[in-house]
Every structure is written in C-alpha cells, then in structure tokens.
Amino acid sequence: LSQLGSTENVSDVWNVTQAVLRKASVCVERSLLMLCLILAFILPLTLMDLRVLGIRGYSVAVTLPAVCVTFGIFYMLLLAAAVSEKCAQVPALINAMHFGEGMEASRQRTVEYVRNSAAGFYVFDARLTTGMVLKLIYI
C-alpha cells in the first residue's frame, strides 16, 4: 500500500481486493456448508462410538480419523475467519500512512470507505469472523 502513492490508488487496489475476496467466498461457500454438515454428523457419531466401545486403546484408534477431520475443519474455518480479521485492520494501516501534505481529508475519506466496505470472507452473505467460528467450536 505504501508504494501506491495516492489515496485514489489505494481505493482502486481495495476495490480489486474486495472483489477477489467476494468471488473466492462465493466459489467455496457451498463446500464450507458441506464441511460444516459433515462436522455436525461426525461429532455425535464419534461420541457414540466412544460410549459404545468404551475408552480403550482400540476405540481411540477407531475414532482418531474423525477427530483429525474435525480439527482440520475447525482450523480451515479459523483461517477463513482470519481473512476477515486482517481486512478489519486495513483502515488503521491506511490511517497511519503518510500521503503528503494536505492529504489528511482524502486519507480520512479512504479510511471511511475501506471501513464501510466491510470486506472479508463471506459465507452466504454473512461475514465469517473468528468469534463466529469460536462459537461454533463451543457448541
């Protein structure tokens, strides 16, 4: 961002970045939904296996793949939510940049534009945040 030189260039780059994020989100949102549905089935079935088999050496070995898949899905969701968190930090970064004398008003408009654009990783028009993923993990 610091090499762009003006706030208009920053706005143009931000428009492209936001469009790429939206397109990527739309492309993978159905896959994320399927992974969450798989997660909804894996967890109860794994707990049922442990209850029926008891906690012995072979029962842990049987449920280990399901546990690995569960942690992998949670990790993937956290990485997707991290994109939204990084986008939320961009206005502060732009506000800290120096574009020259007399550019404070233009910089402030750019900061407001970036903040109001609410770019991030969206799943079915809902912005995926770390808080949402942590609530999913807690449930």
Give me the pLDDT at residue 4, please: 58
Give me the pLDDT at residue 120, please: 86
- 2 against 90, higher pLDDT: 90
Give me the pLDDT at residue 5, please: 62
Separation between Cα atoms, residue 26 and residue 139, nearest integer Å? 25
Q: Count CB atoms within 10 A of the CB of residue 88.
A: 16
Secondary structure of the chain: what % helix, strand, coil (to 5)?
80, 5, 20
- State the pTM of this model: 0.76
Closest among 132, 76, 74, 94 to 11, alpha carbons compared = 94
Quick: pLDDT tens for 47-92. Answer: 887 788 777 767 777 778 888 888 898 999 899 899 989 988 888 8
Give me the pLDDT at residue 126, please: 87
Instruction: Give the CA diameter of the chain.
Output: 72
